[in-house]
Amino acid sequence: MTQITPQPGIMDIALYTGGKSTVEGVSNVVKLSSNENPFGPSPAAQEAVRRVLHEMHRYPSTDHGSLRQAIGEVHGLDAGRIICGVGSDEIIHFLAQAYAGPGDEVVFTEHGFGMYKISARVAGATPVEVPEAERVTDVDALLAACTERTKLVFIANPNNPTGTMIGQAEVERLADGLPPQAILVLDGAYAEYVEGFDGGASIVDARENVVMTRTFSKLYGLGGMRVGWGYAPAGIIDVLTRVRGPFNLSVPALAAAEAAIRDTAFVEKCRAENTRMRTWLAEALMEHGVPSDTSCANFILARFSSREEAEACDLFLQKQGLIVRRVAGYNLPAALRITVGDEASCRRVAHVIGRFK
């Protein structure tokens, strides 16, 4: 008889599924459930991957120097304070592994991204979910939830799945109000969709207790390559680098990300199209009696009158080949999260929701 058991808390982790991409018996499926870029990866990123195919027998760079340099140049950041990960998911994991453990608390909002809870539990820490009014990150509620055991506070800005965002002054108030042992993590997975927004980099620069995470999975169209990064004070980068392991990013992933971040024309086009179609989709859904909060990201949180109606609409959409995301797991049972697709997909989803209503 073995006595093999996982660490306490592991079996409390709900299985995380990426959502489906096919519907049985339906062809011509459009996936609007994972906030992917409808325009795909930049042609420059595809070309860069082709160029490194012959290097696949070599281990990748251990320090990601070339990619960090590119990120630093494009964003005007110190490349020495950037760390790269297998998606920003991995940076979130590193933070929890390095800074939270049994007896510690990890704080985030009830509508906060699912990885915060998973990472907290994997680290053996206690996740603390903070309720919020009106689906907007509530700084007072987050501050009130902090204790002498709080080690990490996560907010996504803009937030997934609400799409809402809070201003710089509010973020600074949160950073400056935290207990001394706590790190504020500013998750900027959707920061690129907000023109001129630095994702909180200046807040990181002015403090010792703030980290920013970013991703190549959204605007850069590289969800399948799994590349994210973090920007932090030098001491925190030193700690996270010890947790990282030497070869976390693959050769093609590094090449694709570096080419993608330098392809500014593609990025501009995708951002502008997203803004245009997001406005169009929100207005079209409103005309069908489905309101949404003002979204700052590449998705819309469509709100229905009840959980039953949201689920019925989801099934109706699926039958028409449209996959959107249920967000009941984010305490939003009467809502569906719809990625802003290209114009044809947006028109199709609005048309089908109109028929449903």
Least separation in angstroms between CB 103 and ligand PMP: 26
The residue count for binding ligand PMP (CB under 6 A) is 13
137, 217, 274, 298: which one contacts ligand PMP (CB under 6 A)? 217
Segment near ligand PMP (CB under 6 A), from 87-95, 124-132, 135-143, 166-174?
87-95
| Closer residue to ligand PMP (CB): 35 or 320 | 35
Give Cα separations from 40 to 31, 36, 267 (angstroms).
13, 8, 11
By CB under 6 A, is residue 220 in contact with ligand PMP? no
Q: Which of 33, 88, 109, 164 binds ligand PMP (CB under 6 A)?
A: 88
Residue 160 sits in the site that holds ligand PMP (CB under 6 A): yes
Is 228 near ligand PMP (CB under 6 A)? Answer: yes
Q: What 3-state class would DSSP assign to 107?
A: strand
**Cα(196)–Cα(181) distance, integer angstroms:** 31
| Binding residue for ligand PMP, selected from 105, 132, 187, 263, defined by CB under 6 A | 187
Site for ligand PMP in 264-323 (CB under 6 A): none
Minimum CB separation of residue 88 from ligand PMP in Å reads 4
For tokens 């947790």, name the residue. 243
Q: Which of 128, 156, 261, 349 binds ligand PMP (CB under 6 A)?
A: 156
45 counts as binding ligand PMP under rule CB under 6 A: no
Q: Which of 99, 113, 220, 231 binds ligand PMP (CB under 6 A)?
A: 113
Tokens of 255: 């090449």
Closest approach of ligand PMP to the CB of residue 223, in Å: 6
Binder of ligand PMP out of 100, 122, 146, 189 (CB under 6 A): 189
Residue placing its CB nearer to ligand PMP in the complex, 137 or 320: 137
Interface residue with ligand PMP among 38, 41, 223, 341 (CB under 6 A) is 223
Where helices occur in the chain by DSSP H, the ranges are 43-52, 65-75, 87-99, 114-122, 139-145, 168-177, 201-205, 234-244, 251-262, 264-287, 307-319, 343-356
Identity of the amino acid at 171: V
191-218 CB burial, b ≥16 within 10 A, e <16: bbbbeebbbbbebbeebebbbbbbbbbb
CB closest to ligand PMP, residue no: 87
Question: Nearest approach, Cβ of 156 to ligand PMP (angstroms)?
Answer: 4
Total residue count of the chain as it appears in this document: 357
Q: How far is the CB of 189 from ligand PMP (least distance, A)?
A: 4
The tokens of 223 are what?
């969800």
> How do strand 105-109 and strand 150-156 relate by DSSP bridges?
parallel
- Taking the C-alpha atoms of residue 44 and residue 258, their distance in angstroms, rounded to an integer, is 9
Task: Name the phi and psi angles at 335, rounded to 5.
Answer: -135, 160
- The Cα 345–Cα 284 span in angstroms is 13
In angstroms, the CA 233 to CA 238 distance is 9
For Cα atoms 127, 129, 133, give the angle at the middle one, nearest 5 degrees. 170
CB of 198 to ligand PMP, least distance (A): 17
The least distance separating ligand PMP from the CB of residue 341, rounded to whole angstroms, comes to 16
Which positions touch ligand PMP (CB under 6 A)? 35, 87-89, 113, 156, 160, 187, 189, 215, 217, 223, 228
